[in-house]
Amino acid sequence: MQRSISRMQDLVLFTLTAGSVFLLAFLSVANPKGANDTANKWLGVFLFSFGCALLERALFSFPPHMPPTPFTVLTELSRFAIAPALYMSVLNFTSPGRTFKKGEYLHFLPFLLFALYSIITLFSSPRLPPLLPPALGKAMGAAMFLSVKIQIVAYWLLSQSRLVWHQRNIRMFASTTAAINLRWLQYFLWALVFIIFLWFNELFFGITIIKTLAPFGYLVAVYFIGYFSLRQQEIFRFERQEVEAIREILEEDPVSTAKTPRLSGEAMATLKEKMQAIMEHDKAFLDQELDLPQLARRMHVSPHDLSYLLNAGFGESFFQFVNRYRVAEAKILLLSPKHRHLNVLGIAYEAGFSSKTTFNTTFKKFTGQSPTQFQRNALGEVQPAPPARPEEGRMDTRG
């Protein structure tokens, strides 16, 4: 009796979890906000495939109601699409204006091979001899069993690596990264680690307490995933030509760029003077949403040329260059009697920062002190702290 209740509970939880994933898949494909459209369609494929696996788990949790063979084949087939679809989604989230390349069909080769094998098996006559000798069929089954697990781990690592690459390189074209750093996707990937652990425990480890709580764990992880995936914003909100320029900048080889300068020495000097005038006199940095294409339009140069100017002429990324001016402005405001009524958040907004967290983090990277510490030390309210070493105030040019 107790076993039947437990199975019924698992059936309800897995069905609810699968239904929630299917709903998320529909929302990702429909994409009501219109943000990151291609990436969200791939995310929908990932979620649908994941939902099929969960639904199969739900039906298997309550025998004797076993799923029919065609349904089992469909859910098994979907497992081979989970990992590649996740990776394709991450690629499109992190690459501006990306198009699907022919060679990327190879990511779905295991899916296609298993689909072909399943079709032949389903439609073969029972009177005919088996398609494969029993020993070979058993070996292929074991290989498929392991390949799905290896595939998921490998593609998770590829996705994580690509996300780290994105979070580092967006500083080449954005002065404010909080809305486009895909932090929600990082939480998404960590939730998947939790789900993979629950799954591997059922298959390999067999820790009883974790197996018992696994249905609740899947449900919580799915709602966690849903919460963050629905909060995303458009990452590359530029015109088509600007998107193409950003992609070239991100994919550019630094070695080849150093060998073939984009700007002559005279052009570089002229543009540096113009840049400094725009930043110091016009104070373009006060625009919280200032980005590389926007500043390039004000400079009447291409985003690619502006990026080269910043890296070769100033030795800084766009993020560093703009926020250096913002930090300098914040120092003035922190010590100005006219702005003494403003708190730290007010100073941050006045200096062009979009959040208190970004302001505190950036200010400390440039000065070695928090804004509050700087203000107190400069006004003599406490003894000055030892000066920061030069390397503490300088960041890597790629952010």
pLDDT tens column, 321-367: 999 999 999 999 999 999 888 899 999 999 999 889 899 999 999 99
pLDDT at 203: 84
- Alpha carbons 351 and 371: distance in angstroms, whole number: 12
For 291, the 3-state DSSP assignment is strand
- Across the range 232-256, mean pLDDT stands at 82
pLDDT at 398: 45
Instruction: Give pLDDT tens digits for 180-229.
Output: 899 999 999 999 999 999 989 988 888 889 888 888 899 999 998 888 88
CB atoms within 10 A of CB 370: 15
Using a 10 angstrom Cβ sphere, with 0-12 exposed, 13-18 middle and 19 or more buried, the burial of residue 349 is middle
Q: Token pair 């150093």 is at which residue?
A: 258
pLDDT at 48: 93
Confidence grade of residue 160 (pLDDT, cut at 50, 70, 90): very high
- Across the range 67-83, mean pLDDT stands at 76
Q: Residue 137 pLDDT > 70, yes or no? A: no
Q: Residue 397 pLDDT > 50, yes or no? A: no
Q: What predicted TM-score, i.e. pTM, was given to this entire model? A: 0.82
Percent of the chain with pLDDT over 70: 83
pLDDT at 90: 95
Instruction: Please provide the size of the chain in residues.
Output: 399
Q: Tell me which of 20-29, 30-39, 361-370 is least confident.
A: 30-39
- Across the range 121-137, mean pLDDT stands at 61
Residue-averaged pLDDT of the chain: 84
- Alpha carbons 359 and 133: distance in angstroms, whole number: 67
Question: Cα separations (Å) of 301 from 35, 118, 281, 297, 312?
Answer: 28, 56, 19, 6, 15
pLDDT at 115: 81
pLDDT at 271: 93
Beta bridge partner(s), residue 174: 291
Confidence grade of residue 383 (pLDDT, cut at 50, 70, 90): very low
Q: Could you give the angle at which helices 183-200 and 69-94 cross, rounded to 10 degrees?
A: 150
pLDDT at 381: 55
- Alpha carbons 257 and 398: distance in angstroms, whole number: 15
- Across the range 368-379, mean pLDDT stands at 89
Q: Tell me which of 44-53, 103-112, 125-134, 385-394 is least confident.
A: 385-394
- Alpha carbons 31 and 38: distance in angstroms, whole number: 10
pLDDT at 143: 72
- Alpha carbons 320 and 311: distance in angstroms, whole number: 10
Question: Cα separations (Å) of 360 from 175, 183, 330, 352?
Answer: 15, 18, 11, 13
Q: Tell me which of 112-116, 163-167, 257-261 is least confident.
A: 257-261
- Across the range 111-121, mean pLDDT stands at 78
Query: Which amino acid appears at position 342 of this protein?
Result: L
